[in-house]
């Protein structure tokens, strides 16, 4: 149903003869059934929720148009905040005759979203196009780059100990700070098969569902913000160390998702959530511990400092701050939220500080960095 036909039908039926801008929810629901309008069940349920948030049991015409147009608006937030919801609990679990893909969509809804109204809305309005291409493309590119360098160096673990590894134009090295692209492209390089496998698994298991729910732009922004914050943090706190791996982006995604689960613990319906939370924290902590060990106690002779672990921690901070703001804003405009602008201001301030640090601090402090390869 498009907006023009909806407006015409409302005018013909004189549902708002006094032009107040409000329509009775019961009246509109009866109109939908009598004219057999193709309105999604989730949107019809949302109309009831919106009407219940209004003391007169009416829904604003503009809110109705927002629902029909699937716009991110404050009206969706008000409907979610309303305690009296007409949506049946566990309705999605009882949906019969679903295909494989639709079952996966239902699984994603219960894994990512904390409220029944969110899950119904996502399940009924989800479309397979565009697919979640960002996380899949990044993971595929990382695997291809790793295979190319593994074949070239004839080394599949602890690749950073090979003298030719650091000569890659993708690796961030403090001696090549002027080559700004390295602050991002290091995410395509990995220490070895173990780090690549860990990152790729989390990107596909967590990143793809997040991208399906929140969209390519939001998740790519979060991932790349974590990657950039990782390399810049290393350039400030561990000035002699290089950086490789996509852990900054991976930890941004994982930390945002875990923080969102904790803050909405009662509403999350994913099975064994406590056990999975503990396992995720153990795996993430183990990876950080492994990175610390490789940085300060290298198992093999090395020609220079090994990659820093600070990118992991910086990605986690980005996830808890920026990422949590994004994940809590399902179907809402980020630009309408004060918290989003506060997070952007903080991140922008960090970027400016990091840029000035990289331009001036190394010379002023007389930092002894290893010669670039």
261, 277 Cβ separation under 8 angstroms: yes
d(CA 145, CA 173): 18
Per-residue tokens: 54: 């209004």
226, 203 Cβ separation under 8 angstroms: no
d(CA 228, CA 221): 10
Tell me, yes or no, if 4 is annotated catalytic: no
- The CA distances from residue 373 to 43, 145, 176, 211, 303, in Å, are 59, 19, 9, 37, 10
d(CA 274, CA 127): 31
Tell me, yes or no, if 247 is annotated catalytic: yes
Mention every residue, 6+ apart, whose C-beta is less than 8 A from residue 29. 44, 47, 48
Give me the helices (H) in 238-309, please: 247-263, 273-296
d(CA 360, CA 371): 18
**What ranges make up the beta strands (E) of 251-341?**
none
Q: Which of 247, 308, 321, 329 is catalytic?
A: 247
254 burial type by CB count under 10 A (0-12 exposed, 13-18 middle, 19+ buried)? buried
Q: Is the dihedral of CA 146, 297, 228, 139 positive or negative?
A: positive
Question: HSE of 91 in the Cβ direction (CA atoms, 13 Å)?
Answer: 16
| SS3 of residue 58 by DSSP | strand
Q: What is the CA radius of gyration of the chain?
A: 25
DSSP one-letter code for 162: S
Phi, psi of 24 (to 5 degrees): -65, 130
Instruction: Compute how many other C-beta atoms are within 10 angstroms of the C-beta atom of residue 40.
Output: 17
Q: Which of 173, 190, 257, 312 is catalytic?
A: 312
Peptide bond just before 130 cis, omega within 30 deg: yes
211 burial type by CB count under 10 A (0-12 exposed, 13-18 middle, 19+ buried)? buried
Return the active site residues.
247, 312
């Amino acid at each position: 149903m498009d907006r023009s036909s909806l407006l015409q039908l409302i005018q013909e039926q004189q549902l708002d003869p006094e032009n107040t801008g409000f329509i009775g929810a019961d009246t509109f629901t009866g109109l939908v059934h009598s004219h057999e309008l193709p309105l999604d069940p989730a949107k019809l349920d949302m109309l009831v929720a919106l009407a219940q948030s209004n003391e007169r049991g009416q829904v604003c015409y503009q809110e109705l148009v927002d629902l029909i147009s699937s716009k991110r608006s404050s009206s969706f937030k008000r409907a979610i905040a309303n305690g009296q919801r007409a949506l049946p609990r566990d309705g999605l679990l009882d949906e019969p005759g679903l295909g494989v893909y639709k079952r996966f969509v239902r699984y994603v809804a219960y894994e990512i979203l904390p409220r029944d109204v969110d899950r119904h809305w996502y399940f009924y309005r989800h479309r397979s196009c565009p697919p979640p291409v960002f996380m899949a493309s990044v993971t595929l590119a990382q695997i291809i780059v790793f295979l190319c360098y593994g074949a070239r160096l004839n080394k599949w673990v602890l690749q950073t100990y090979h003298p030719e590894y650091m000569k890659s134009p993708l690796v961030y090295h403090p001696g090549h700070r002027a080559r700004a692209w390295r602050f991002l492209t290091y995410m395509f390089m990995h220490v070895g098969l173990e780090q690549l496998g860990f990152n790729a698994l989390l990107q596909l298991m967590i990143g793809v569902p997040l991208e399906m729910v929140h969209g390519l732009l939001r998740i790519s922004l979060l991932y790349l913000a974590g990657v950039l914050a990782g390399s810049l943090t290393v350039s400030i706190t561990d000035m002699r160390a290089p950086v490789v791996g996509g852990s900054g982006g991976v930890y941004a995604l994982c930390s945002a998702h875990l923080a969102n689960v904790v803050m909405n613990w009662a509403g999350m319906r994913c099975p064994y959530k406590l056990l999975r939370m503990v396992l995720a924290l153990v795996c993430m902590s183990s990876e950080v511990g492994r990175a610390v060990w490789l940085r300060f106690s290298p198992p093999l002779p090395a020609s220079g400092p090994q990659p820093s672990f600070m990118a992991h921690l910086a990605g986690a901070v980005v996830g808890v701050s920026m990422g949590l703001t994004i994940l809590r804003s399902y179907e809402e405009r980020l630009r309408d939220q004060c918290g989003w602008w506060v997070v952007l201001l903080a991140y922008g301030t960090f970027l400016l500080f990091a840029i000035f640090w990289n331009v001036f601090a190394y010379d002023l402090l007389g930092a002894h960095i290893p010669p670039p390869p």
